[in-house]
Structure 1
């Protein structure tokens, strides 16, 4: 390997096998659904966005004694830089509301968020 060092990060899939099977079953069941069916569907989800970089470890391939070379380093900020949580939706007609979630979302806050933002997107 001519002095190359590096590691490949092991990753766990976000979906468990039972979830993958459920989505596959859903897709196979609905693949021939008419367009009118999808006109009444609204998909929504939430995501966390890091302000600066990622919290996960990053790996690079490098030669010996080049650990501090600029192309082998990743800039960081102290205390992680923070993050925001976003909730959004889309339908066959296009995208809906994109809302910043201000606090940790439990079941009741999620329902309140839906009550406040879902109607405008429908």
Structure 2
């Protein structure tokens, strides 16, 4: 399973939700501080299997089909070897347009024995998204103040991820697929 993710120096740049009492929205405990400087981020590509994690590849610039293809060329075979699965795996990715570009499909058909075709608009199927959340929680225990310290924390925590952790996520695939079928493509708990 392969995907990319963005990690911010000072946490999420997305919306945050909190449970609060009525008319308490402006109390400091219910507010997320904003970053006036240094709100930089790092983009990474990674992959996982039931055997563990592959390489963690740092992306310079904006991820597009060309950078994605380079990430696959540079890391996929090495990652499969690192995980001990070589050619014995089913490659999985989501339907992001850069993942489904003709260039990527052509490379995959020549370099990957088998890959799973996923339904359009289905973020529920790839358990690596859960691994990114896990990694983000782990790096928040570090004192991150720059891109370099963020990269160091990401690498350190990525290399600590156990095969037990990834196996649990991979084992959830059948339940994920069943949930998608039951929900007829609508969102699931995954």
Short-chain TM bin? 0.5 to 0.7
Q: How far apart in 2 are the matches of 1:109 and 1:83?
A: 17
Deviation at 1:75, TM superposition (A): 1.7
Structure of larger gyration radius: 1
Q: TM-score, normalised by structure 2?
A: 0.36
More helix by share: 2
| CA contact 1:97–1:117 (8 Å) conserved in 2 | yes
Deviation at 1:58, TM superposition (A): 3.2
1:71 maps onto 2:29 in alignment = yes
Once the two structures are superposed, what CA deviation does each residue of 1:64-103 show, in whole Å capped at 9, x if it has no partner? 4x55433122222115712211111112322110111111
Unaligned runs of 5+ in 2: 81-190
Superposed, which structure 2 residues align to 1:19-58 within 5 Å?
43-58=1-16
Q: Quick one: which of 84, 88, 110 aligns to 2:42? A: 84
Partner of 1:105: 63
Q: How far apart in 1 are the matches of 2:40 and 2:50?
A: 33
More strand by share: 1
Q: Quick one: which of 79, 90, 94 aligns to 1:121? A: 79
Partner of 1:19: none
SS at match of 1:78: coil
1:96 maps onto 2:54 in alignment = yes
Root-mean-square deviation (CA), in Å? 2.2
| CA contact 1:86–1:98 (8 Å) conserved in 2 | yes
Distance 1:92 1:51, change over 3 A: same
Deviation at 1:59, TM superposition (A): 4.3
Q: TM-score, normalised by structure 1?
A: 0.53
Unaligned runs of 5+ in 1: 1-42
